Homo-oligomer: A and B are copies of this chain.
Amino acid sequence: MDAQSFKEFGKAALDFIADYMENIRDRDVLPSVKPGYLIDLLPKEMPEKPEQWQEVLQDINKYIKPGITNWQSPNFHAFYISGCSYPSMVGEMLSAAFSVIGFHWLCSPACTELEMVVMDWLAKFLKLPAQFLHSTEGPGGGIMQGSASESVLVAVMAAREQTVLRVKAEQPALSEGEIRARLVGYSSDQSNSCIEKAGVLGTVPLRLLAADENQIMRGAHLAKAVKEDLANGLIPTICIATIGTTGTCAYDDIETLASVCEEHNIWLHVDAAYAGAALALDDHAQLRRGLERVDSLNYNLHKSMLVNFDCTAMWMRDSNRVVDSFNVDRIYLQSKYNGQTDIPEFRHWQIPLGRRFRALKVWLVFRIFGAEGLREHLHKQLRLAKRFEQHVLADARVELVAKRSLGLVCFRVKGDNQLTADLLQRITDRKKLYMVQASFGGKDFIRFAVCGMDPKEEDMDFAWHEIEGQLNKLLSEEKGKKIEAITVNAHDTQQKDNEDGISQQLSSGLHISLGADERAP
Contacts and interface: CB of A to CB of B under 8 A. Distances in A.
Interface string A460-492: 000000000000000000000000000000000
B331 A53 contact: no
A8 to B, nearest CB: 9
A396 interface: no
A231 interface: no
A120 to B, nearest CB: 7
A1 B85 contact: yes
B48 A372 contact: yes
A98 to B, nearest CB: 6
Contacts of A89: 6, 10, 93, 96-97
Nearest to A197: B328
The main secondary structure of chain A at its interface with chain B is: helix
A517 interface: no
A514 interface: no
Given A7-B15, A18-B7, A193 B333 contact: yes
A150 B351 contact: yes
Interface in A25-46: 30-31, 33, 35-39, 42, 44-46
A247 B332 CA distance: 8
The 8 nearest A-B residue pairs measured at CB: A177-B181, A67-B110, A6-B86, A149-B352, A38-B113, A35-B341, A93-B93, A92-B96
A230 interface: no
B10 A109 contact: no
Given A110-B64, A177-B182, A332-B438, A353 B147 contact: yes
Given A10-B10, A36-B113, A351-B153, A106 B30 contact: yes
A108 B453 CA distance: 17
B135 A86 contact: no
A330 B3 CA distance: 47
Contact of A177 (B67, B113, B135, B177): B177
A274 interface: no
Contacts of A114: 38, 42, 64
23 contacts: A6-B86, A6-B89, A13-B90, A14-B14, A37-B109, A38-B113, A46-B118, A46-B370, A46-B371, A50-B372, A53-B87, A53-B364, A64-B110, A66-B110, A69-B106, A96-B361, A99-B308, A148-B352, A149-B353, A153-B351, A157-B201, A177-B182, A197-B353
A356 interface: yes
A332 B63 CA distance: 28
Given A49-B372, A99-B309, A329 B9 contact: no
Given A48-B371, A309-B354, A39 B181 contact: no
Interface string A81-111: 0111111111011111111110001111111
Given A110-B68, A192-B353, A47 B371 contact: yes
Contacts of A21: 3, 97
Nearest to A160: B203
B146 A146 contact: yes
A109 B331 contact: no
Given A175-B181, A439-B331, A50 B368 contact: yes
B180 A48 contact: no
A178 interface: yes
